Amino acid sequence: MLAEGGVSEADAWRKRDLAVLWHPCTQMREHPDTLPLLPIAGGQGPWLIGRDGRRYLDAISSWWTNLFGHAEPRIAEAIATQARTLEHVILAGCSHAPAVELAEGLLRIAPREAGRAPLAKVFYADNGSAGVEVALKMAFHWFRNRGEPGRTKFIALDNGYHGETLGALAVGDIPLYRRVYAPLLAEALFAPSPDAYLCEPGETPAQRAQHAANGLRALLERHAGEVCALILEPRVQCAGGMRMHDASYLRHVRALCDEFGVFLIADEIAVGFGRTGTMFACEQAGIAPDLLCLSKGLTGGALPLAAVLTTQAIYDGFLDDSRERAFLHSHSYTGNPLACAAALAAQAIFASDDILARNRATAARMAELAAPLAAHAHVADVRQAGMIVAFELTQGGDKRTPFEASARIGLRAYRAALERGVLLRPLGDVLYWMPPYCVDDEALTLLARTTREAIDHAVAEAGV
């Protein structure tokens, strides 16, 4: 496909793009050569359609947002219908049906725990990082309102990630993202990660979880009366390399938060809505958080929206005659009707298509296809949580011998996969599969074959 002047349409778009755009999470010097820019014209199901006319399997669900495939007609129709009625209205002092109906639906499906009051209120935000900011501010402000202003600290986990706004970044522990901005960040406390990849020889994931919980207890004891909340990603630390932990850790954390009077914030922005096998990852431990952060798949990947679900007790802690004791956090597009309509359509699809049952079958097939890669000479670990599969690449498959960063193994694998029609975006030297739920066996077979070929190509190209 040629554009004006005889250059390809894809190259013409690359040139226009690089003349005006600054891309996220990118060292722009790597464009246009080291990191190929992929101009996209459209999408269909699990496929992206490039300006070059080729189809590319979206193996990462477009940054973990897309649930049911691109251009899902039911979600598109819901957005179009809503746009003909009301595109937006201020949610401070106003109300509209999509925001109310979505809140009702989210509270119905939210994680529940025997003997614990259910999540009862929904506060909307614009994206995942903004949702984390809401939860952090709520937790601190609640204690301040009840006369405990000394509870100013947050506990997060080693290797965790919760977004890149300053509050969310402060409770993240990935140096690549936080190191530069460290002087601007509030001080957080970091507890040992329950990451099962870190198990010592002979140690089980459940034992690793108990060990990490012991470290958390020691931290809570040292800072008794100073901590307002603990935040974690249940079951999978996604941006930290798709590192996974035993569900028992969540039960330990829930018990410790109760014992020390600390709120538990569950960041299910990436792992919610069926990614790990259940609607929410917390369900696998039978626990419910005090604050639940949702985004990404909330709208099926169609529009930006976040929701923070919290308890009646937290909500009641802000009721007062003083506006200073109110929660005055706001976003211009809070509870946007179009985004809420998309989210309502996404929830309807879960029910009508029995998505969770289908995902169980798809996850089983993903496990079959991933298993042979565990024997690859440079794969140290293959791990899975529902619809997420990750491959840890190291020299000779030795956990203690990562590739040198200069080898750029992940980047080389990314380029090799793209040449073969698969969009992978490695996390360092971790390749992972997180496809839309509509992916079929033919696409999964392509994904498995391409992953092996991409690893082989990357290692050979790097000469390691």
In this predicted model, what pLDDT tens digit does every residue of 112-150 receive, in sequence order?
Answer: 999 999 999 999 999 999 999 999 999 999 999 999 999
For residue 257, pLDDT over 80 is answered with yes
Sequence-separated (6 or more) residues with CB below 8 Å from residue 100: none
Identify whether the C-beta of residue 454 lies closer than 8 Å to the C-beta of residue 416.
Answer: yes
Tokens of 187: 């001080």
- Per the prediction, the chain carries an average pLDDT of 97
Predicted confidence (pLDDT) per residue in 302-347, tens digit: 999 999 999 999 999 999 999 999 999 999 999 999 999 999 999 9
pLDDT confidence tier of residue 350, bands split at 50, 70 and 90? very high
Name the least confident of 32-41, 248-257, 273-282: 32-41
Whole-angstrom distance, CA of residue 407 vs CA of residue 403: 7
pLDDT at 1 over 70: no
Each residue of 164-214: pLDDT tens digit? Answer: 999 999 999 999 999 999 999 999 999 999 999 999 999 999 999 999 999
Determine the pLDDT at residue 368.
98
Note the pLDDT of residue 428: 96
Q: Is 183 exposed, middle or buried (0-12, 13-18, 19+ CB in 10 A)?
A: exposed
Q: How confident is the model at residue 7 (pLDDT cuts 50, 70, 90)?
A: confident
Q: How many CB atoms lie within 10 A of CB 38?
A: 16
Q: Where are the beta strands (DSSP E) in 246-387?
A: 263-267, 291-294, 306-311, 379-385
Determine the pLDDT at residue 4.
Answer: 61
In this prediction, residue 3 carries a pLDDT of: 63
Q: Which of 243, 448, 451, 435 is nearest to 358 (CA)?
A: 435
Are 275 and 387 a contacting pair, CB within 8 Å? yes
> How much is the pLDDT for 2?
62
Calpha distance 71→121 (Å, rounded): 31
Q: In what order do the strands lie in the sheet with 47-50?
A: 40-44, 47-50, 55-58, 422-423
- Residue 98: asked if its preceding bond is cis (omega within 30°), the reply is no
Residue 33, pLDDT score: 85
